[in-house]
Amino acid sequence: MITGLVIKAYNGYYYVKSDDKVIVCSLRGRLKKDIVSLVVGDNVQLQPIQADKGVIEGVLPRRNLLRRPLVANVDQVVLVFAAGNPEINTSLLDRFIVLTELSGLNAIICINKVDITGSIVLAELTTVYRRIGYPVIEISAKNEIGINDLQPYLNNKITVFAGPSGVGKSTILNCLDPALQLQTGEVSSKIGRGKHTTRYAQLLPLKSGGYVVDTPGFSSTEFNDVHEAELAHCFREFNNYSRMCKFNTCLHYKEPLCAVKEAVNNEQISPWRYESYMKMLMEIKENKRG
């Protein structure tokens, strides 16, 4: 019995990296009952059958599990958005940040295509997120600008690249390591978003060490399993003020003497961040009613 790391799952087979080779494995029957019994990123025990084939007999304990994309044992998430084409959507960015916070993962914000805009709005955006505590890396993958600023964050980590389609995730990964040779797609002029060029999640080894996960593009997130009280904790900048609210169960919505709302009025908390929070809170409340 040997151990290895699942780097790809495709057509019912699992590609497991063990030492310096990849073994194509089937899954022992008892592990097939649960859809998340084995996912990319899992460390497994396998029984070799031939030099490059084996059977997975067991899954080692996980540190974490992301549900979307379905990946285990992730260290961090790089949230990729574009400065333009398509325009950056701060509401969607905040939704992604909430998902990383709920998963207990660090979020790194990567703004691509900075060569096509020099907007004051972008400068304000980067300032706000850096002040909250999120690293913000500004790059142009097309012109290979800023890639060296992103590289050190990835070394010896398992990193998920997530974000809407068309923002250049695959192009960025090709810049980080040209050997990856990922297919890229242009943004559609009709629908204003990119074509989905990534079909399934897989761990891609970087020559500098570590793995990246290039995931299928998606533009919606759901909070079906999130409780109202959890949401506010996912907005880091709220924490400095929420302890001063009159009620310790304050949701920063209609409650009186809310220090968070006062901080928004005084521009100590970004109005658009609070607006993002309110949209998500209303969605969670609606889900509860449904």
Query: In which element (H, E) is residue 241 found?
Result: helix 239-242
Q: Which domains does the chain have, with CATH numbers?
A: 2-62 (2.40.50.140), 66-214 (3.40.50.300), 228-289 (1.10.40.50)
202 falls in which pLDDT band (50, 70, 90)? confident
For tokens 């970004």, name the residue: 270
Tell me: pLDDT of 195 over 70: no
pLDDT, tens only, 230-243? 999 999 999 999 99
User: Cα–Cα–Cα angle for 91, 97, 98, nearest 5°?
Assistant: 90
The pLDDT of residue 49: 94
Structure tokens at 56: 């997975």
> What does the alpha-carbon distance between residue 219 and residue 193 come to, in Å, rounded to a whole number?
9
Tell me: pLDDT of 220 over 60: no
The pLDDT of residue 189: 40
User: Cα–Cα–Cα angle for 101, 274, 82, nearest 5°?
Assistant: 65
Single-letter amino acid, residue 206: L
> What does the alpha-carbon distance between residue 273 and residue 276 come to, in Å, rounded to a whole number?
5
The pLDDT of residue 194: 40
Average pLDDT over residues 160-187: 80
**Which candidate, 116, 126, 98, places its Cα nearest to that of 236?**
98
pLDDT, tens only, 71-93? 899 999 999 999 888 788 899 99
**Which candidate, 288, 264, 287, 286, places its Cα nearest to that of 275?**
264
Residue positions counted in the chain: 290
Top-confidence range, 45-54, 108-117, 171-180, 206-215: 45-54
Cβ pair 109, 79 in contact under 8 A: yes
The whole-chain average pLDDT of the chain stands at 87
Tell me: pLDDT of 120 over 60: yes
